[in-house]
Amino acid sequence: MPLSTPAPAAPAAAVAPAPATATASPGAAPPRPDLYTPIHKALRAFMGDTLQRVGAMDIDDDEERAATLAQLEQLLDELRGHLGRENLFVHAALEARRPGSSVRIAGEHVAHLEHLHNLEDQAQALRDAQPAQRAEFAQRLYRHLSEFVADNLLHMACEEREHNAALWALYGDAELVAMHDRLVASLTPAELALTLRWMAVGLNVQELAGLFRDLQAKAPPEAVRAMLDIVQAHLTQPRWTKLARALGLPPVPGLVAA
Ligand SMILES: [Fe+2]
């Protein structure tokens, strides 16, 4: 099951989504906990949506410009927090058992921090721009954001391939789940809500169902319901109906699940 895990939950994981498990082919060894793929799917969806919005923005519409730049700011904050958590929880673990194993990716994180800072400056410049400057500033911001997204897509694929391989070689499943739970426990409620909002967009229904099955087994029903509400708000009706059925919930309150 893509997002379920047999490992015991740490107390901090009481309301934390479980890490995914890498997909195994029939007859293969059980899949290993995957700390990277679910959050990266969420970030890919967040980056793709934001890039599209910046490109399509009507720069002379004050409300649309402000809303688009606010989403961009939220994305940049999220990406900065994400790489900080990777450094703190994952790279530290890699270095503890295989010194030097996170050096390449850590170096890319340093470059990403500089790129994020530049994007924030360019977004602020667009906010402050005179009307005659807006088209040029918006085009510059869009191009630089597209370069950052392209770079980050390659970066995340490398992490999923190489850092997962190292983590799986160096740590057992229970240790990886505990590492994931410590990382998720460090999120603020707002950060957790934002993560769930983009997981709703980026994960497939089977992955979402696996995530919530795990939550149903570990977390209080009211906490699960609150997280389901966040996800439902960002799912199409067909996707919500499939998820509700997979979880044994009525797609519409009051109905009996089929
Ligand atoms: Fe990273």
Show Cβ contacts of residue 85 under 8 Å, excluding neighbours closer than 6 positions. 183, 186
Give yes or no for a contact between 173 and 32, defined as CB atoms under 8 angstroms apart: yes
d(CA 162, CA 170): 12
Q: How far is the CA of 84 from the centre of ligand 1 (A)?
A: 8
Confidence (pLDDT) at 217: 82
Confidence (pLDDT) at 242: 96
Q: How far is the CA of 210 from the centre of ligand 1 (A)?
A: 24
Q: How far is the CA of 189 from the centre of ligand 1 (A)?
A: 22
Q: How far is the CA of 87 from the centre of ligand 1 (A)?
A: 8
Q: How far is the CA of 90 from the centre of ligand 1 (A)?
A: 10
Q: How far is the CA of 98 from the centre of ligand 1 (A)?
A: 18
- pLDDT of 199 higher than 70: yes
- pLDDT of 3 higher than 60: no
Q: How far is the CA of 61 from the centre of ligand 1 (A)?
A: 34
Taking all residues of the chain, what is their mean pLDDT, rounded to a whole number? 89
pLDDT in tens, 28-70: 777 899 999 999 999 999 999 999 999 999 999 999 999 999 9
Percent of the chain with pLDDT over 90: 80
Model confidence at 88, in pLDDT bands (50, 70, 90)? Answer: very high
Q: How far is the CA of 177 from the centre of ligand 1 (A)?
A: 19
Confidence (pLDDT) at 14: 38
Q: How far is the CA of 213 from the centre of ligand 1 (A)?
A: 27
- Domain extents in the chain: 29-187
Confidence (pLDDT) at 219: 83
Model confidence at 196, in pLDDT bands (50, 70, 90)? Answer: very high
Which of 12-26, 101-115, 218-232, 240-254 has the highest mean predicted lDDT (pLDDT)? Answer: 101-115
Task: Tell me the CATH class for 29-187.
Answer: mainly alpha
Confidence (pLDDT) at 31: 86
- How many Cβ atoms are within 10 Å of 176's Cβ, its own excluded? 24
Give the CA distances from residue 253 to residues 38, 223, 225, 249, 258, in Å, rounded to whole numbers and listed in that order.
28, 17, 12, 9, 13
Burial grade of 258 (CB within 10 A; 0-12, 13-18, 19 or more) = exposed
d(CA 6, CA 22): 13
Confidence (pLDDT) at 250: 81
Give yes or no for a contact between 81 and 191, defined as CB atoms under 8 angstroms apart: yes
Confidence (pLDDT) at 17: 57
Q: How far is the CA of 157 from the centre of ligand 1 (A)?
A: 9
Q: Which of the residue ranges 81-85, 157-161, 167-171, 213-217 would you say has the lowest mean pLDDT?
A: 213-217
Model confidence at 4, in pLDDT bands (50, 70, 90)? Answer: very low
d(CA 206, CA 211): 9
Q: Where are the alpha helices (DSSP H) in 57-133?
A: 62-85, 92-97, 103-128
Confidence (pLDDT) at 30: 75
Q: How far is the CA of 146 from the centre of ligand 1 (A)?
A: 17
- pLDDT of 213 higher than 60: yes
User: In the predicted model, what is the mean pLDDT of residues 226-251?
Assistant: 94
Q: How far is the CA of 130 from the centre of ligand 1 (A)?
A: 36
Q: How far is the CA of 66 from the centre of ligand 1 (A)?
A: 28
